[in-house]
Amino acid sequence: MSDTLSAKITLDKDFVISAVDPRLFGGFIEHIGRAVYTGIYEPGHPAADPDGLRADVYELVRELDMPVTRYPGGNFVSGYNWEDGVGPRAQRPRRLDLAWRAVETNQFGTNEFIRWCRKANTAPLLAVNLGTRGADAAAALVEYCNHPGGSAWSDLRRAHGHAAPHGVKLWCLGNEMDGPWQMGHRSAGLYGQAAASAAHMMKRVDPTIELVVCGSSHRKMRTFGAWELEVLEHTYDLVDYLSLHTYYGDHEHDLPGFLAKPDTMSDFIDETAALCDAVAARRHATRRMMLSFDEWNVWYHSNAQDERVTPWAVAPPLVEDVYTAADALVVGGMLITLLNHADRVKVACIAQTVNVIGPIMTRPGGPAWRQTIFYPFQQASRFGRGVVLRQLVESPTYDAKERAGVPYLKSACVWQPADQTLTVFALNRSLDQSLALAVDLRAFPTLALKEWVTLRYADLDACNTADQPNTVTPQTRTGATVTREGLSAVLGPASWNVIRLERPT
C-alpha cells in the first residue's frame, strides 16, 4: 500500500450550491446540567460581570461568532413555564425539572438570556413549550418579548425593567415532539394541529417572526418520514423551517466508522428535504421549506457518568463530554456537511455551547477553556461565510462497518466574492496515510496562498483540560503550493485542514 493517497477537487465559481446563511453557525443553551448555572451564569465568580454573567465565557462565545443561540431547550422546554423565569428573583419559584430530574431555581430566565445574548454577540432563538402548554402561553411569550407596550404582557416586561422590546425573530414550536421521552409527547397529527394553532397565534402577535416546526429527533426514529409528512400537512403554510437533530458517538471504538458518520448526516438532510418537497408537490406550493438543524454534535463520552448523578440536585454535572482529537475531526466533517447543504439548511445549532456537550468548558469558580471541537467550529464560522461552491471530487474510498464507499477526502469550498478569497475545508479520514490534495484553480487564476491551518494530533484520544487547555490546538503549516492551474497540499493522516487563498494586493 502506498504511503500517500491522492484526491482532486475541481471548482468553478459560477457553479454554486448557495450563499451561506450566517445562522448556520448557531449555538444552544438549555437548562440542563451546568450549561446555565456555573456555565454562562455564576454570580460571585472572579470573571462575573455585574449581571452575574461570566465574561470569560461570553468572550469565548464571541470567538465562535454564533449569530443565533437556541434557548431554553431542548427537553427542558416541554415542561417549562416561562413566567417562572421573569420578574424579581426572590419571587421566582423553585421547580422540579422533570426532563433532567433536577431542581430548577429559575434565577436565570428569558430577560437574563436576552442580556447574555447581547454580551455574547448572538441573537436569541427561543423555543416555546408545546408539551405541557399550548398556543396561548406561546403567544403570550411573543407578546412579552416583542410587543412595544400597552398590553398586559408587554407592560409586564416593561415593569421588569425592559422598556424596549426584545425583538426575538426566530422561534421553535416545541422540541422533539416525536420522542416518547418528551413531556407532552403527541402523535404527528395532534402535534401538527397544536403547532399550527401556536403558529397562527404567534404570528398574529408579531407577523415578522419566523417559526421552526419539529421534524424527527433523529434519522432512526420509527416514525421518520411519516412524521414529517403529517406535521407539514398541518403547518406548511404557517412555518418557515423544519427541524432535524442528530448526535454521533464511537460506542464501538471503530474510528473509521466514526469518521464516516457525517456522511449519514448528509443522507438525513437529503431525505428530509425530499419529504418537504413531496408535501410541496401535493400542495402545488412554489415555496420550498427550509431546514433548521438545531441540534447536532458528538455525544457519547458522558453516558455512563450521567447514570450515576444524584437526582433532584441544582445544576448537577450532566452530559459533560470531554472531547478528543478524533471528536474534533467528526465535528469538522459535520460542519462540512452543513456547508454543502447550505441551499436547504439555513439555521443550525451545535448542541450545546458550554459544559453540556459544548466546545467551551468551565470549572465552578475557576477557568474556562476551549475543547478540541472549539477549533473546527470557530474556523468554519469565521471563514465559511460566503458562497459554497459545487465540487467535482475524485477520492479513493474505504468501507466502514455501516457504510461502503466512504471517500477519504471530505471537503467544502467557500468563495467570498467581497474580498476575493477561497477557503478549502478538507478532512483526511485515513488514519495512517497522508492525502495528496490537488485543487483545480483554473477558474481562479489570480489567487495565492494566504494560510494553511491544520488540526492534527498523533494521539486521537488526546483532549484539552482545565490544567492542560492547549494540548490539541490548530497549527499553521507550510508546504502547500499554488500556481495558476491549482493548489497542491499533502494532508496529514486523520487531519482537519483549512486552506485559505486570496487575491494578492
Domains of the chain: 4-13+389-502 (2.60.40.1180), 21-383 (3.20.20.80)
Helix (H) or strand (E) holding 115, with range, is: helix 110-120
State the Cα–Cα distance between residues 397 and 383, nearest whole angstrom. 27
- The C-alpha cell at 416 is 467570498
Q: What is the pLDDT of residue 1?
A: 45
State the Cα–Cα distance between residues 474 and 415, nearest whole angstrom. 22
Give 133's DSSP letter.
S
Largest CA distance in the chain: 75
- The 3 state secondary structure assigned to 449-461 is EEEEEEECCCCCC
One DSSP character per residue, 166-215 reads ----EEEESS-TT-TTSTT---HHHHHHHHHHHHHHHHHH-TT-EEEE--
Q: What is the pLDDT of residue 350?
A: 98
- The C-alpha cell at 99 is 426532563
One DSSP character per residue, 4-62 reads EEEEEEE--TTSEEEEPPGGGGBEE--SSTTSTBTTTB-TT-TTB-TTSBBHHHHHHHH
CB of 345 closer than 8 Å to CB of 288: no
Torsion sign across C-alpha atoms 128, 42, 302, 28: positive
Residue 437: how many CB atoms within 10 A of its CB? 25
Please give the backbone phi and psi of residue 53, each rounded to the nearest 5 degrees, phi first: -90, 135
> CA Rg, the chain, in Å?
23
- The C-alpha cell at 81 is 413555564
Q: What is the pLDDT of residue 5?
A: 97
Q: What is the pLDDT of residue 2?
A: 58
- The C-alpha cell at 150 is 400597552
Q: Give strand pairing partners of 496.
A: 427, 455
Residues in the chain: 505
Percentage, residues of the chain above pLDDT 70:
100
Q: What is the pLDDT of residue 445?
A: 85
For residue 104, indicate whether it is catalytic.
no
Residues 6+ apart with CB under 8 A from 91: none
State the Cα–Cα distance between residues 351 and 51, nearest whole angstrom. 25
For residue 63, indicate whether it is catalytic.
no
pLDDT digits (tens, 9 = 90+) for 276-286: 999 999 999 99
One DSSP character per residue, 321-371 reads ---BHHHHHHHHHHHHHHHTTTTTEEEEEES-SBSSS-SEEE-TTS-EEE-
Q: Which amino acid is at 357?
A: I
CB of 441 closer than 8 Å to CB of 11: yes
Integer angstrom CA distances of residue 287 from 218, 222, 240: 25, 28, 10
Q: What is the pLDDT of residue 505?
A: 76
Residues 6+ apart with CB under 8 A from 499: 423, 424, 426, 449, 451, 452, 480, 487, 489
Query: Model pTM?
Result: 0.97
Q: Given 176, 228, 230, 320, which residue is catalytic?
A: 176
Q: What is the pLDDT along the chain (505 residues), one digit of tens a residue?
A: 458 999 999 999 999 999 999 999 999 999 999 999 999 999 999 999 999 999 999 999 999 999 999 999 999 999 999 999 999 999 999 999 999 999 999 999 999 999 999 999 999 999 999 999 999 999 999 999 999 999 999 999 999 999 999 999 999 999 999 999 999 999 999 999 999 999 999 999 999 999 999 999 999 999 999 999 999 999 999 999 999 999 999 999 999 999 999 999 999 999 999 999 999 999 999 999 999 999 999 999 999 999 999 999 999 999 999 999 999 999 999 999 999 999 999 999 999 999 999 999 999 999 999 999 999 999 999 999 999 999 999 999 999 999 999 999 999 999 999 999 999 999 999 999 999 999 999 999 889 999 999 999 999 999 999 999 999 999 999 999 999 889 999 999 999 999 999 998 7
CB of 350 closer than 8 Å to CB of 364: no
